[in-house]
Amino acid sequence: MPKAGPRRPLQAVPRFALTREEAAASLGMSVSHFERNVQPTMRVVRSGQLVLVPVSEVERWLKANAHLVVDRPGPQLVRESRR
C-alpha cells in the first residue's frame, strides 16, 4: 500500500484526443450534426464503446472545410443630386 504523504499538485496534461461531445463543442456544432456530417470523414480511435477524435483530425477537418468569404464591392450607382 502506498504511503500517505503530501501529494504533488497535478499539472495540466495536454489533450491529444477529444470525445465526440468535446470535438463537436470545439467546432461549435451539435453532437448529432458532428456524428452525421463530420465524424465519417475523420479517423477516430475506438476503445470499446468510447470513440476518441484526435485533435489533429479536428484541426485537419477545419482547415479542409474552411472557405474565405469576402464581400466584394459591386458596381456603385452614382445618382446626380437634384436641386
Polymer length in residues for the chain: 83
**Pairwise CA distance, residues 29 & 31, whole Å:** 7
Q: Provide the pLDDT for residue 37.
A: 97
Q: What angle do CA 56, 59, 62 make, to 5 degrees?
A: 150
pLDDT per residue over 20-68, tens digit each? 999 999 999 999 999 999 999 999 999 999 999 999 999 999 999 998 8
Residue 83 confidence (pLDDT) = 63
pLDDT value, residue 44: 97
Distances (CA, A) of 2 to 6, 7, 10, 73, 82: 12, 12, 18, 70, 92
- pLDDT at residue 79, rounded to an integer: 73
Strand partners, 45: 52
Q: What is the pLDDT of residue 58?
A: 98
